[in-house]
Amino acid sequence: MTIKSFIFNPFQVNTYVLHDETNEAIIIDAACQEGHEQEAINAYLKDNNLTLKMLVNTHCHVDHLMGVKYLATKYDAPFAACKDDYYLMANAPDQAMMFGLEVDLPPDMNQYLKEGDALKFGNSELQIFQIPGHSLGSIALYSKADGVVFAGDVIFKGSIGRTDLPGGDFEILIQGIKTKLFTLPAETVVFSGHGPSTTIQAEHDTNPFFNQ
């Protein structure tokens, strides 16, 4: 599996394009807001001869949703996320307005993802973990074959997601990270929603939220 990352919009969200030898692709957290950001995605898909099969969101905070409507419409691609984040979808434009930004209302979810699901594209498969606490419907997507996990805003290099927004819960987030992420193989690479990648080992051993 090839992983291409982009950093988009004023919130500096990591958008990931995943594809494999079949040339099927999915996009995790399509955050491309401005025209040149959308064009960067279009160019990458075209240059690599990729077929976009699905848009997937780790969660539905507005900064992670900014390109979903555009790409879903342009490529006629379905949108998948956890149903528990539905409460964030309807007010995405209001969330954006608070920051002085405009955002298209994201399309309805075409597929709901939940704990234990396997999301497949091409020859690749991602296992879904539900890890609430940053938002009610936050998920992580784990590829066992590639040893990578896409964690959204659940965990960052040296930090964790904020828990002071609606649906946030600090204890539940900590518990979810311990029981679901920290039980993955230590060498698993973690791709977060913001900032650089890290590993399960590094966060287990040095993340200040788990090491006092």
Classify residue 193 as left (phi > 0), alpha (psi -120 to 50) or beta: alpha
Helix (H, G, I), strand (E, B) or coil at 71: helix
Q: Which residue, 25 or 96, has its beta carbon nearer to Zn ion?
A: 96
In this structure, the number of other CB atoms found within 10 A of the CB of residue 196 comes to: 12
Binding segment for Zn ion (CB under 5 A), chosen from 15-23, 40-48, 54-62, 94-102, is 54-62
- In this structure, what token pair is assigned to residue 82? 């956890």
Q: How far is the CB of 58 from Zn ion (least distance, A)?
A: 8
- Least Cα distance to 145 among 176, 172, 120 occurs for 120
Q: How far is the CB of 126 from Zn ion (least distance, A)?
A: 19
Q: Which of 8, 55, 56, 61 binds Zn ion (CB under 5 A)?
A: 61
Site for Zn ion in 165-184 (CB under 5 A): none
Q: Which residue is nearest to Zn ion (CB)?
A: 61
Burial of residue 19 (CB within 10 Å: 0-12, 13-18, 19+) is buried
Residues 6+ apart with CB under 8 A from 64: 13, 29, 31, 57, 58, 152, 153, 193
Q: What is the β-pairing status of strands 159-160 and 189-192?
A: unpaired
Q: How far is the CB of 153 from Zn ion (least distance, A)?
A: 4
Q: Which of 24, 84, 153, 203 binds Zn ion (CB under 5 A)?
A: 153
The alpha carbon dihedral of 65, 71, 73, 79 has a sign of: negative
Q: Which residue, 124 or 130, has its beta carbon nearer to Zn ion?
A: 130
Binding segment for Zn ion (CB under 5 A), chosen from 5-13, 18-26, 89-97, 152-160, is 152-160
Q: Which residue, 25 or 92, has its beta carbon nearer to Zn ion?
A: 92
Binding mask 97-136 for Zn ion (x = CB under 5 A): ----------------------------------------
Binding site for Zn ion (CB under 5 A): 61, 153
